């Protein structure tokens, strides 16, 4: 099969909105008969408290529902279909066993408000995951409460603030490199900090000279990503953390790219004080079309008193309990104790791999990225020459000469049967094409992707129009986003 | 490792094509002094069958008896099988956030349907694509109201879920927000006199939950009217989303003055298992005029350049990846798959099924209350109408009450959630929840337990 044939035409069934379907009297649901006395609702509460019909809510049969969502599902690209090279997103295979164990009734129906002796299994899973994450990251203590990466960032920065407040001054600003994820500055702002940008140098890493000039006693912390969003390891990280620590500031690490480091180096060993870990990236909990994720936060001892409450404690008799008595805690960041279903999946993945397996994950993730780099660097301009770890960033500079831009390349990839890479990010690379293949891809899959990218480059030379008007094979073409935003239609309405 | 396709031979060939000798060389960018030169100290790797055994063993140590009669923000309702069948499709659960609309129309249309359902149920004009959960949703609603009103004083009912209030405190404390609590009246509902005395022109919003933490149904429309008289916004929080099937929604009223400005809440009740507290799914609905101040993603309906209907993430200039520190929220990943579960649930139960479920909850709860009053020495607190939760008070002081079972399967002699941690003034009180899954026999047995 030639690689251009990877994507072929296939039927795609049209499907209306749920609200345009159905018919009065259809049912997909039956309740067991009522076994207590039937009453008049009006006798139990003032009729003014009750609602009328729900306007526009459809009546459907079970078959209607199954067909509707099955048809919708066929319009999605997904990791079980093929390579999903979104840089910084770590779209790796989600093992099926994870789904099975998270659905065990003893987990799915556990309630966090039952007495500790009745939730020992859940507490043990959470505590074991904490211990594993602490070892992998080289940190001292973990909270599993945050629901996603950005939520973890907020949690971490609030702990930074509590730490400084306990020493008399919350300080004023958070330093953030210009290559950082947008969530970093947004999270710092909610914690009440001013954000200052740190420039990158020509190697794509933090400009330590520029950093030296802006670090002072009003800096609460720096938020770094390592490897950074260019896939480059901050080789001066030890010097950077030392510089910040000398001024009494802390170092936060965005752990989005931990997939490059497992078993190779540990944030805790290069001076990081606090980091969040995206279980939905490195630890294979599924992305679910945009969540749920989970964003545990790992800290060094100095920040441990400030962890959100409750914390899980293991007792000498081998049992576990929640400890709410945490006077220095930043408080709660979420009701209950985090996205437990994701914790089960992540622990399952860690136990499936063990220490050697996780190291192998990072090795192959980095190998795969470098393979793509070596195959594409003649056709696409590398954003930076520095060595790549788990992802590689190109720019559209060469193609842009033919007026073919990064979005065109991305859309054209769909015609070849691939999800596009992350594009237009990081912001410091004009026309960025950020490719993270992960360890889940075989050499054949990588080769097919490389061939598609090379074919698009050739098209950009010979037939740029076909690239600029892509995609041609998808259910819908490019959506007019500007029009959609000008007069937003955010819900269905009758008529 | 079974999840990694490339064999050693593949890897060797790839290394040769890259032009290096070993993967070790690819890590040369990490300074040697920072390298970990030992294996991580982790439990040994398990085979798939060992993993199943490991997790089965731990799952069996949790009590999942529905006769625990425990709710308090996490509810046991029947979950139709259809939901798991559909969300187990890789097309849904292994897809990424739908930034590339052309190959994510399935997810996008489903979220658009979620937004529509939430708007219909809450009586609001628009709803977002989901938030992490009810507790963070309420915090986001308060931040949103601060942006809209540019005021900082919030009056929050003490009968709002205590952990939600704790989350609000954590979010709010560095943003100049002041929270003042409003107590509850003897009937279990918001103390309106106290609210009236604290409302003034500096008030940004009034926050009330209905049904509230005690299970009693608030007069949300009266509260909205009072808030609006002082140019404050009205925020209604909903922990038990099933109740939206029968209670008059806070966003709906003949008079505009009596409608809430934001309805925020938790939709776990729509087909999502308790899962020890998460993942669940938060929602936030509001008026169209506030849409540009909303947190979180929004899916809009649009057209492609040949005029075909399609769906796309929209108004993203509010969001962190564009606006960075000036974004309306830092949220990125949200709860898309759980929003899909809720959407499927609502499609399955339909308007009639949802109403019937609500009726069963109300009638069974009323039956349990009646039985406890008639057969036990426990007091049932609060006289206001209730949905599926209520508070009972043990005439014996704390510490002399009955104990919880010491092991799974032993049976509950103390149903529900003790309230001493959250409401010490209620003494030896417990919050009980009865839903459509609880049989009369279970209720009778629970009442008998309380009586003996």
Q: Which residue has the tokens 């239609």?
A: A489
Instruction: For chain B, list the domains and their CATH numbers.
Output: 66-78+351-451 (3.90.1150.10), 81-343 (3.40.640.10)
Nearest CA in chain A to B55: A101
Q: Is A317 on the interface with B (CB under 8 A)?
A: no
Nearest CA in chain B to A172: B174
pLDDT at B452: 83
User: Please, which pLDDT band fits residue A11 given cuts at 50, 70 and 90?
Assistant: confident
Res. A2: pLDDT tops 60: no
Q: Is A436 on the interface with B (CB under 8 A)?
A: no
CA-wise closest residue to B216 among B189, B194, B246? B189
Res. A495: pLDDT tops 80: no
pLDDT at B1: 87
pLDDT at B67: 80
pLDDT at A10: 79
* ipTM for this prediction: 0.98
Res. A9: pLDDT tops 80: no
Res. A323: pLDDT tops 60: yes
Is there a contact between B308 and B295 (Cβ–Cβ < 8 Å)?
no
Average pLDDT, chain A: 96
pLDDT at A7: 81
Q: What is the pLDDT averaged over residues A439-464? A: 98
CATH class of A97-351: alpha beta
Measure in Å the smallest separation between the Cα of B375 and chain A Cα atoms.
16
Statement: the pTM of the whole predicted model exceeds 0.95? yes
User: Please, which pLDDT band fits residue A211 given cuts at 50, 70 and 90?
Assistant: very high
What are phi and psi for residue A170, nearest 5 degrees?
-65, -15
- CB neighbourhood size of A80 (10 A): 16
Greater confidence, A44 or A3? A44
A20: burial class by Cβ within 10 Å (0-12, 13-18, 19+)? exposed
User: Please, which pLDDT band fits residue A374 given cuts at 50, 70 and 90?
Assistant: very high
Greater confidence, B67 or A337? A337
Domain locations in chain A as residue ranges: 3-73, 97-351, 360-481
- CB neighbourhood size of A140 (10 A): 14
What is the share, in percent, of chain A residues with pLDDT greater than 90? 97
Cβ–Cβ gap A107/B275 under 8 Å? yes
Nearest CA in chain A to B364: A36
CA-wise closest residue to B448 among B374, B394, B396, B366? B374
Report chain B (452 residues): mean pLDDT per 10 consecutive residues. Answer: 96 98 97 98 98 98 89 98 98 97 98 98 97 98 98 98 98 97 98 98 98 98 98 98 98 97 98 98 98 97 96 93 89 95 98 98 98 97 98 81 51 80 93 97 94 87
What are phi and psi for residue A157, nearest 5 degrees?
-70, -35
SS3 for B241? helix
- B76, B78, B279: residue with CB nearest A292: B279
Q: How many residues in total does chain B contain? A: 452
Res. A264: pLDDT tops 70: yes
Q: Is A105 on the interface with B (CB under 8 A)?
A: yes
Res. A491: pLDDT tops 60: yes
Q: What is the pLDDT averaged over residues A88-97? A: 97
Q: Helices A340-376 and B48-59 meet at what angle, rounded to 10?
A: 150
- CB neighbourhood size of B24 (10 A): 11
**Chain A residues 41-70 with a CB less than 8 Å from chain B:** 41, 44-46, 48-51, 53-60, 62, 64-66, 68-70
Nearest CA in chain B to A69: B86
In this structure, CATH architecture of domain A360-481: Alpha-Beta Complex (3.90)
Res. A52: pLDDT tops 70: yes
Q: What is the pLDDT averaged over residues A379-403? A: 97
What is d(CA A464, CA A485) in angstroms, rounded to the nearest whole number? Answer: 28
A196: burial class by Cβ within 10 Å (0-12, 13-18, 19+)? middle
Side-chain half-sphere exposure of A469, counting CA atoms within 13 A: 8
**Chain A residues 323-362 with a CB less than 8 Å from chain B:** 324, 330-342, 344, 348, 350-361
């Amino acid at each position: 099969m030639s690689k251009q044939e990877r994507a072929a035409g296939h039927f795609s069934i049209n499907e209306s909105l749920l609200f345009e379907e159905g018919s009065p009297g259809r049912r997909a649901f039956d309740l067991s008969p009522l076994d207590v006395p039937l009453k008049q609702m009006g006798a139990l509460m003032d009729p003014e408290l009750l609602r009328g019909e729900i306007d526009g809510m459809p009546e459907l049969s079970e078959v209607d529902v199954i067909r509707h969502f099955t048809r919708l599902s066929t319009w999605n690209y997904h990791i079980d279909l093929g390579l999903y090279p979104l840089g910084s997103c770590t779209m790796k295979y989600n093992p099926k066993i994870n789904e099975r164990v998270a659905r065990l009734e003893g987990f799915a129906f556990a309630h966090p408000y039952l007495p500790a002796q009745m939730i020992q299994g859940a507490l043990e899973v959470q505590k074991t995951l904490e211990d594993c994450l602490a070892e992998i990251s080289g940190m001292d203590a973990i909270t599993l409460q945050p629901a996603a990466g950005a939520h973890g960032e907020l949690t971490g920065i609030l702990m930074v603030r509590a730490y400084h407040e306990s020493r008399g001054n919350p300080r004023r600003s958070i330093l953030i490199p210009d290559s950082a994820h947008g969530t970093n500055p947004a999270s710092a702002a909610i914690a009440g900090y001013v954000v200052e940008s740190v420039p990158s140098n020509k190697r794509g890493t933090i400009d330590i000279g520029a950093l030296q000039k802006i670090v002072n006693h009003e800096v609460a912390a720096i938020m770094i990503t390592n490897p950074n969003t260019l896939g480059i390891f901050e080789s001066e990280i030890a010097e950077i953390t030392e510089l910040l620590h000398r001024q009494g500031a802390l170092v936060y690490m965005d752990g989005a790219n931990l997939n490059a480091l497992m078993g190779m180096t540990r944030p805790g060993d290069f001076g990081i004080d606090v980091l969040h870990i995206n279980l939905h990236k490195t630890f294979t909990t599924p992305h679910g079309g945009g969540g749920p994720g989970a964003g545990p936060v790992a800290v060094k001892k100095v920040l441990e008193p400030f962890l959100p409450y409750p914390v899980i404690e293991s007792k000498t008799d081998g049992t576990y309990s929640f400890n709410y008595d945490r006077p220095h805690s930043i408080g709660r960041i979420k009701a209950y104790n985090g996205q437990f279903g994701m914790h089960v999946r992540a622990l399952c993945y860690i136990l499936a791999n063990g220490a050697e397996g996780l190291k192998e994950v990072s090795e192959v993730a980095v190998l795969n990225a470098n393979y793509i780099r070596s195959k594409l660097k003649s056709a696409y301009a590398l954003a930076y020459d520095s060595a790549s770890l788990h992802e590689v960033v190109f720019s559209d500079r060469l193609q842009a000469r033919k007026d073919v831009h990064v979005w065109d390349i991305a859309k054209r990839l769909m015609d070849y049967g691939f999800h596009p890479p992350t594009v237009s990010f990081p912001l410091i690379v004009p026309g960025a094409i950020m490719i993270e293949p992960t360890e889940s891809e075989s050499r054949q899959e990588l080769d097919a992707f490389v061939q598609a990218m090379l074919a698009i480059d050739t098209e950009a030379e010979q037939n740029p129009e076909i690239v600029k008007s892509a995609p041609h094979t998808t259910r819908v073409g490019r959506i007019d986003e500007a029009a959609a935003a000008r007069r937003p239609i955010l819900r269905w309405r009758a008529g | 490792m079974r999840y990694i396709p490339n064999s050693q031979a593949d890897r060797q060939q790839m290394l040769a094509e890259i032009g290096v000798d070993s993967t070790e060389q690819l890590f040369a960018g990490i300074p040697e002094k920072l390298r970990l030169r030992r294996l991580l100290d982790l439990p040994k790797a398990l085979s798939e069958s060992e993993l199943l055994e490991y997790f089965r063993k731990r799952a069996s140590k949790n009590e999942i008896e529905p006769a625990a009669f425990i709710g308090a923000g996490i509810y046991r309702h029947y979950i139709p099988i259809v939901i798991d069948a559909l969300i187990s499709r890789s097309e849904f659960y292994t897809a990424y956030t739908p930034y590339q609309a052309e190959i994510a129309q399935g997810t996008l249309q489903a979220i658009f349907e979620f937004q529509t359902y939430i708007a219909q149920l809450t009586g609001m004009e628009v709803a977002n694509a989901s938030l992490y959960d009810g507790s963070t949703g309420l915090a986001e609603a308060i931040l949103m109201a601060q942006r809209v009103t540019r005021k900082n004083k919030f009056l929050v009912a003490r009968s709002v879920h205590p952990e939600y209030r704790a989350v609000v405190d954590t979010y709010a404390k560095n943003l100049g927000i002041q929270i003042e609590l409003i107590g509850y009246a003897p009937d279990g509902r918001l103390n309106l006199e106290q609210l009236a005395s604290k409302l003034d022109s500096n008030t940004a919003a009034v926050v009330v939950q209905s049904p509230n933490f005690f299970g009693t149904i608030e007069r949300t429309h009266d509260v909205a009217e009072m808030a609006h008289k002082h140019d404050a916004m009205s925020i209604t929080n909903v922990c038990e989303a099933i109740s939206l099937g029968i209670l008059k929604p806070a966003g709906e009223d003949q008079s505009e003055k009596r409608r809430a400005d934001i309805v925020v809440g938790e939709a776990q009740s729509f087909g999502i298992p308790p899962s020890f507290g998460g993942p669940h799914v938060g929602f936030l609905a509001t008026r169209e005029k506030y849409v540009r101040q909303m947190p979180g993603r929004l899916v809009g309906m649009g057209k492609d350049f040949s005029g075909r209907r399609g769906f796309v993430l929209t108004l993203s200039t509010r969001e962190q990846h564009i606006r960075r520190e000036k974004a309306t929220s830092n949220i990125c990943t949200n709860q898309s798959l759980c929003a899909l579960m809720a959407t499927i649930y609502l499609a399955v139960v339909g308007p009639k099924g949802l109403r019937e479920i609500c009726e069963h909850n109300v009638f069974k709860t009323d039956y349990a209350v009646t039985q406890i009053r008639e057969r036990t020495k426990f007091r049932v607190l609060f006289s206001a109408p209730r949905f599926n939760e209520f508070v009972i008070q043990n005439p014996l002081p704390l510490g002399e009450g009955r104990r919880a079972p010491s092991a799974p399967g032993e049976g509950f002699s103390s149903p529900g959630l003790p309230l001493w941690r959250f409401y010490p003034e209620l003494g030896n009180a417990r919050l009980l929840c009865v839903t459509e899954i609880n049989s009369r026999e279970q209720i009778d047995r629970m009442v008998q337990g309380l009586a003996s």
